[in-house]
Amino acid sequence: MSNPNYQVFLNTDILRWNGGDIERLGYPKTHTQEEMYVLARRHGCKIITKNGYNGKWYLKGKGKTMEELKEAINHNRGNSREGVYCILLS
């Protein structure tokens, strides 16, 4: 991604039970990480999740504080299957 203000957390997903904040069914796996970054910024989401190597993208964290998101990441860090990751945008 062109913006260096993000952190990637491998094998980590958060806010799973409410799906995505913007598109509950997710975005196609064919979207690039850069495209998802643009969508996240446009919609005010602080989390981008990739649901596996062949999985969909999800936007999350809208309306959550950075402290809430970091706490959720620390709680779930490394608990997801291989290929799942989330990106925390700052």
pLDDT digits (tens, 9 = 90+) for 26-69: 999 999 999 999 999 999 999 999 999 999 999 999 999 999 99
* Tally of domains in the chain: 1
Residue labelled with tokens 């997801």? 80
pTM: predicted TM-score of the whole model, two decimal places: 0.87
Whether 3 shows a pLDDT value over 60: the answer reads: no
Residue 1 lies in a domain: no
Closest CA to 58 of 71, 40, 42, 81: 40
CA distance to 6, 9, 67, 74, 90, per residue, from 52 (Å): 19, 13, 25, 19, 23
Tell me which residue range forms the domain holding 36. 6-89
For residues 58 and 43, the answer to whether their CB atoms sit within 8 Å is: no
Residue 12 lies in a domain: yes
Residue 69 lies in a domain: yes
Q: What is the pLDDT of residue 1?
A: 47
